[in-house]
Amino acid sequence: QVKVVESGGGSVKAGGSLRLSCEASRPPGTTTLCMAWFRQSPGKDEREGVAGFTPDDRPTYADFVKGRFTISREPAKDILYLQMNSLEAEDTAVYYCAANPWGCVFRPLEKWRWYNNYGQGTQVTVSS
């Protein structure tokens, strides 16, 4: 099981920025990790994909964050980042880091249940 811990959430005004971090601890013998960001907005039952990586390590984003959010990773340290700029009130949510101890799939944001390991989440609140 992969342990995942998120940090960096907070409250900002619309137009502001935040940077989320996620540190993963891989089980012994694990040679690769697939990591991604999901979020769950108030009143929604399901988590939605925000940003992740394709099998060839290209970043991929949900349409609603393209051009505003940037995902990056320090693979040697299993640390994942999400730089969030031009935040909108609609971005208010609990943001979760997800990880699997195997390679990413072609559509890494399609099904949050594909990931077996999540952190406790970090709250992001954007006021208008």
Beta-carbon count within 10 A of 56 CB: 8
Average pLDDT of the chain to the nearest whole number: 95
Does pLDDT of 120 surpass 80?
yes
Please report where in the chains the tokens 């990586």 appear, as a residue: 53
Does pLDDT of 106 surpass 90?
no
Distance of CA 118 to the CA centre of its chain: 10
Task: Report percent pLDDT > 70 for the chain.
Answer: 100
Phi-psi region of 115 (alpha: psi -120 to 50; beta: other; left: phi over 0): beta
Does pLDDT of 46 surpass 80?
yes
pLDDT at 77: 81
pLDDT at 1: 87
Of 31, 32, 66, whose CA–CA distance to 51 is shortest? 66
Does pLDDT of 11 surpass 90?
yes
pLDDT at 101: 92
> pLDDT digits over 59-105, tens only?
999 999 999 999 999 977 899 999 999 999 999 999 999 999 999 99
Give dist(CA 80, CA 57) in Å, integer: 13
